[in-house]
């Protein structure tokens, strides 16, 4: 029988184990370096779904390869094929806390005159290295525009739900 864990729990900050992860988990459990196939859902604590692949094909990745944030990886350590789990990942372990240094006031003249500015408008900016960085318009007036370069989910606790289909050694 498949084991189902659907009680929301809140993760504590992850401490690096002092021993090899293979000695902490059985070969049937998820651990760094193992290939996993799963469905996932990210939602806010009020239930608003941010992203989900439960209606699509499951995704496959190697745990620890950097494809998902460490807080979300911690949530799946020790799970086995057939298990479903839901945890609350605190903001600092998910997309981070809001950083006031990521709010920038720019001259209104930096924006095209025909651009209709509005609060919440997301715009892609290019940094000096040529990388694109999304920013959200927070406030504006005739002279200045305040742009928030924090991740849109920064400062938010995230509910992370998964269903594990398979686990394989790399």
Confidence of residue 22 (pLDDT cuts 50, 70, 90): low
Q: Specify the CATH number for the domain of residue 8.
A: 3.10.50.40
Name the least confident of 22-26, 85-89, 137-141, 154-158.
22-26
What's the sign of the alpha-carbon dihedral 29, 35, 37, 40? Answer: positive
pLDDT tens-place string over residues 96-128: 999 999 999 999 999 998 999 999 999 998 888
The rounded percent of the chain whose pLDDT value lies above 90 is 65
Answer whether 10's CB lies under 8 Å from 90's CB: yes
Are residues 73 and 121 located together in one domain of the fold? no
> Strand, helix or coil at 18?
coil
Q: Specify the CATH number for the domain of residue 106.
A: 2.40.10.330
The pTM assigned to this predicted structure is 0.74
Are residues 134 and 59 located together in one domain of the fold? no
How many independent structural domains does the chain possess?
Answer: 2
Mean pLDDT within 150-157: 94
Q: What range does the domain containing 111 cover?
A: 100-148
The rounded percent of the chain whose pLDDT value lies above 70 is 86
Query: How far from 64 is each of 29, 31, 95, 115, CA to CA, in Å?
Result: 14, 8, 17, 42
């Amino acid at each position: 029988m498949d084991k189902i864990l659907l009680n929301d729990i809140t993760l504590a900050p992850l401490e690096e184990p002092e021993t090899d992860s293979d000695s902490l988990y059985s070969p049937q459990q998820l651990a760094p370096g193992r290939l996993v196939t799963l469905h996932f859902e990210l939602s806010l604590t009020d239930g608003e779904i941010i992203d989900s692949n439960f209606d699509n094909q499951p995704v496959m990745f190697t745990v620890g390869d950097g494809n998902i944030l460490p807080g979300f990886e911690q949530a799946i350590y020790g799970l086995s094929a057939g298990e479903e789990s839901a945890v609350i990942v605190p903001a600092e372990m998910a997309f981070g806390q809001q950083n006031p240094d990521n709010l920038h006031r720019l001259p209104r003249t930096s924006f095209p005159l025909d651009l209709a500015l509005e609060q919440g408008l997301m715009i892609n900016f290019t940094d000096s290295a040529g990388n694109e960085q999304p920013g959200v318009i927070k406030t504006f007036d005739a002279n200045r525009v305040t742009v928030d370069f924090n991740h849109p989910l920064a400062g938010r606790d995230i509910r992370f739900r998964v269903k594990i289909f398979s686990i394989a050694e790399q």
